Amino acid sequence: MATPGIDEPRIASGPFSSYVLDSAFDEMFDAQRRPRQHYRALYELLLSLPVEEMRRKKQAADVSFLHQGITFTVYGRDEGTERIFPHDLLPRILTSAEWETIERGLTQRITALNFFLRDIYHEGRCLADGVVPREMVYSCKHFRRQMRGVTAPKNIYVAVMGTDLIRLPDGRFVVLEDNLRVPSGVSYMLTSRQVMKRIFPELFQYTDVRPIDHYPEVLLTTLRALAPEGRGEPNIVLLTPGVYNSAYFEHTYLARQMGIELVEGRDLVVHDNVVYMRTTGGLRRVDVIYRRVDDDFIDPLAFRSDSILGVAGLFNAYRAGNVTLANALGTGVADDKALYAYVPKLIKYFLGEDPILDNVETFLLTEPAERRHVLDHLEKYVVKAVGESGGYGMLIGPHSTAEQREEFRQLIEADPRNYIAQPTLMLSRAPCFFDGKVEPRHVDLRPYILCGDKVTIVPGGLTRVALRSGSLVVNSSQGGGSKDTWVLQ
Amino acid sequence: MLSRVADSLYWMSRYLERAEHTARVLGTQLNLMLEQGPKSSDRRWLRVLASLGHTGPFADDSDPFALAQAHALRQITGGIGFARENARQVREQISSEMWEQLNRLFHEVKRLESAGLWKSQPLDFLAVILESSHLVQGVTDSTMNHGEGWQFIQVGRFIERAAAIARLLDIYFHEFPAGQPMDSGEHMEWIGLLRSCTAFEAYCKVYTADLRPERVAEFLLLNSEFPHSVRFAADRMQNSLEAINQAAASRRSPRVAKIAGRLSAGLMFTPLEEVVVGLAEFFADIQQQCARIHVAIHEVYITYSIEAAIEV
């Protein structure tokens, strides 16, 4: 191996003394252990700042999160369920070229998925042509037969999408999963940028970071574009399940930033298929609902009758075209993890284009051959329940016990449609700050895609990081944290 | 403004006022107990119980002191808990400073309660409550937009205050009818009443320390400048309800303003001589009108029927 020249910066001692590269793609260093061009400024800053100063910055960031009450709720524990969102100090940086590919790829993806959703709830061409097996769609837990024949305004079923991307060892971004129901986390993206600007003014000064602060405004424009026709100044509201929901902080944050009313189900009434909110000044008509309540709970008359979070009669008002729901109901069918495997085909079918962002190799366990293969090598695969999110209902083969594998074997054999398997992927790693040291941790990336009159993706997203050394699970409910994501000009 | 939000702000403020008032009544009585023997104290604690809405009958062997303490503590901690819970539901509507103060008060009370300060140093405990409650009110007035939401906070505070003071007066005048010679013990009780309404110093400024029941009644009922008099509370309530009515657009209705105006006018224009003749009825009437205003607010702004609102 050649010795690098004197002037070439390399992973040095100092805070990087325990920074080890492995087979995963490293966001900061190339294979020759040199910092990548777009990470230079951060690298040099880290070398020059005293450890004490870094600790102080870390502390300042933590306090700032605490005071703003930026928290999330972990389900299934009794006490202290409200927690500060764990946050890493160092930004994850993307070049404009990398971002351009991501942007094109995601725009293509949301466009195709909206075509797909319109199709399956109307003519079903893609089913008739055999692109997707009928039973795959109709057996999906999130397929809503009530939506048959319901046309969303401008055929936009998914107005807000959060897609999880990961970076493979060869540096390519691929899609791990889509979130088409009520994707959350965007408030962490926005608030962590505000905190970072306070903590690292010197870095922002010398780096051309593209702004993301206009997200709430773009979201509002998107929602306004989807208002029912003939409603000049539409009344837009955000529907939250209430204070006990894990993302309540985000709901209040977005409502405040957009200047719209934050409502609960009990604030809304439906009369003659028109939705109103109950105000001290009387009933006020509601035109667009950015709903953060799941399909199942949104209308006890149409869906789960035991729901008290929803609004009785809302679905009929929606069918009548008097109110817009964003996202539309029944969009979850397209983020089913088994249907995910068909998305590249759907892009080809509806747009006639090759997918710009590839999928991760996925085994459908309904196929006998694939199932046998996966069951024989469970320790190598990640098995996921198709309708779950947030890292629940998952088996990570290499980190599992024989007992867990046996449990999943039985689950899969009992209901193969409910599971898919993917090879264990080496997520890329990015530098994180841990008490005076910089160490690499695995990360993913969730950009937020907005689709109204046009598709807009604010440059950045939520970089989630597995804070435990070696861990590949980035979900906040499973010990993950977040990083600010910078896209350079 | 959403009806639910208005309702939460109203109750947040009402519960806090209730906790503060209870803390003050209790603190005053504990202070008096230090100066007088335990003999007269049973009656006094029965009075506290009555002011909290517990009129008995109590078991023969029950200890009014213990009973009153337990009820009062529950009213205070419960009130602060409910105030915070209501604030939590409308966090995005109130200022961060308000939320922080209220949240801090809630955690402080929990801490003091579990640390046993309530038992060992009750007066310190109550002082913390009073101080923090004043702080929340001050922060509210100086950091929150004085719009519709703030007006609902005002209404909640003053309706609670007017009713609580009327109830307290009712209890005292029932036990010590006016126009009878006063012994030194009774003298202390009237001071206690004034102190329960933070009114002792203010009273002295107007009438000197010469305590007479009619004057106490006049001061706590009809004084227009003292924040803990019924009239002051009724006036503020009326102002706020008028502002709310102005903002209410299609729900604008003279109904609430009329009832509130009647209460306010009664306090403004009834001569003292007339009030003194039928004190008990007068007190009862105030409490009743407060209850009616409460119902009217809810019927007009919060829980109105959909049919009624659609026709407008």
B254 token code pair: 């003279």
With beta carbons under 8 A apart, name residues in chain A contacting B249.
Answer: 281-282
Looking at every residue in chain A, the average pLDDT score rounds to: 89
| % of chain A residues with pLDDT over 90 | 59
Q: Residue A380: pLDDT above 60?
A: yes
Residue appearing with tokens 């010398």: A206
Confidence of residue A307 (pLDDT cuts 50, 70, 90): confident
Interchain CB distance below 8 Å, A281 and B310 = no
Which residue would you say has higher pLDDT here, A162 or A76? A162
Q: What is the DSSP letter of A486?
A: E
Q: Return the number of other C-beta atoms located less than 10 Å from residue B135's C-beta.
A: 16
How far B54 CA lies from chain A's nearest CA (Å)? 34
Interchain CB distance below 8 Å, A243 and B4 = no
Confidence of residue A77 (pLDDT cuts 50, 70, 90): very low
Q: What is the DSSP letter of A399?
A: G
How far A334 CA lies from chain B's nearest CA (Å)? 34
User: What stretches of A185-228 show up as alpha helix (H) in DSSP?
Assistant: 186-199, 201-206, 215-225
Interchain CB distance below 8 Å, B92 and A255 = yes
Q: Which residue in the set A252, A267, A271 is minimally distant from B2, CB to CB?
A: A267
Mean pLDDT of A205-225: 94
Q: Residue A265: pLDDT above 90?
A: yes
A360 token code pair: 């991760």
With beta carbons under 8 A apart, name residues in chain A contacting B250.
Answer: 281-282
Closest chain A residue by Cα to residue B1: A279
Q: Residue A78: pLDDT above 80?
A: no
* Separation between Cα atoms, residue A444 and residue A427, nearest integer Å: 7
Domains of chain B: 1-143 (1.20.120), 161-312 (no CATH)
Question: Where is mean pLDDT largest: A108-112, A301-305, A391-395?
Answer: A108-112
Q: Which residue in the set A262, A281, A283 is minimally distant from B248, CB to CB?
A: A281
How far B310 CA lies from chain A's nearest CA (Å)? 7
Mean pLDDT of A221-225: 96
pLDDT at B158: 97
φ, ψ for residue A463, nearest 5 deg: -90, 115
pLDDT at B182: 74
Closest chain B residue by Cα to residue A277: B2
With helix as H, strand as E and coil as C, how does chain A read? CCCCCCCCCCCCCHHHCCCCCCCCCECCECCCCCECHHHHHHHHHHHHCCHHHHHHHHHHHHHHHHHHCCEEECCCCCCCCEEECCECCCCEEECHHHHHHHHHHHHHHHHHHHHHHHHHCCCCHHHHCCCCCHHHHHCCCCCCHHHCCCCCHHHCCCCEEEEEEEECCCCCEEEEEEECCCCCCHHHHHHHHHHHHHHCHHHHHHCCECCCCCHHHHHHHHHHHCCCCCCCCCCEEEECCCCCCCCHHHHHHHHHHHCCEEECHHHEEEECCEEEEEECCEEEECCEEEECCCHHHHCCCCCCCCCCCCCCCHHHHHHCCCCEEECCCCHHHHHCCCHHHHHHHHHHHHHCCCCCCEECCCEECCCHHHHHHHHHCHHHEEEEECCCCCCCCEEEHHHCCHHHHHHHHHHHHHCHHHEEEEECCCCCEEEEEECCEEEEEEECEECEEEECCCEEECCCCEEEEECCCCCCCCCHHHCEEEECEEEEC
Mean pLDDT of A365-394: 84
**3-state DSSP assignment of residue A181:** coil
Q: What is the DSSP letter of A235?
A: -
pLDDT at A79: 40
Query: In DSSP terms, which residues pair with A289 in a beta bridge?
Result: A237, A325
pLDDT at A2: 42
Terminal C-alpha separation, chain B: 18
Q: Residue A221: pLDDT above 80?
A: yes
Task: Indicate which of A250, A280, A284 best probes the interface with B, i.e. most B CBs within 10 Å of its own CB.
Answer: A280
Mean pLDDT of A303-321: 92
Residues in chain A whose Cβ is within 8 Å of chain B: 242-243, 252, 255-256, 261-264, 266-267, 269, 271, 276-283
Do the beta carbons of residue B222 and residue B231 sit within 8 Å? yes
Interchain CB distance below 8 Å, A281 and B247 = yes
Do the beta carbons of residue A275 and residue A317 sit within 8 Å? yes
Q: Residue A314: pLDDT above 50?
A: yes
Q: Which residue in the set A243, A256, A278 is minimally distant from B2, CB to CB?
A: A278
Q: Residue A120: pLDDT above 90?
A: yes
CA distances from B292 to B114, B239, B297 (A): 39, 17, 9
How far A485 CA lies from chain B's nearest CA (Å)? 27
| Chunked mean pLDDT (size 10), chain B, 312 residues | 95 96 93 74 86 80 86 93 92 87 89 85 91 94 94 97 94 81 81 93 90 90 94 95 85 83 92 86 93 94 83 50
Closest chain A residue by Cα to residue B246: A281
How far B229 CA lies from chain A's nearest CA (Å)? 29
Q: What is the model's pTM?
A: 0.85
Q: Is the dihedral of CA A108, A113, A118, A123 positive or negative?
A: positive
Domains of chain A: 93-350+451-487 (no CATH), 361-423 (3.30.1490.270)
Residue appearing with tokens 């190598």: A380
Do the beta carbons of residue A28 and residue A35 sit within 8 Å? yes
Amino acid identity for residue B165 in this structure: I
Q: Range with the lowest mean pLDDT among A316-330, A435-449, B88-102, B160-174?
A: B88-102
pLDDT at B40: 67
How far A270 CA lies from chain B's nearest CA (Å)? 9
Interchain CB distance below 8 Å, B1 and A280 = yes
* Separation between Cα atoms, residue A113 and residue A125, nearest integer Å: 14
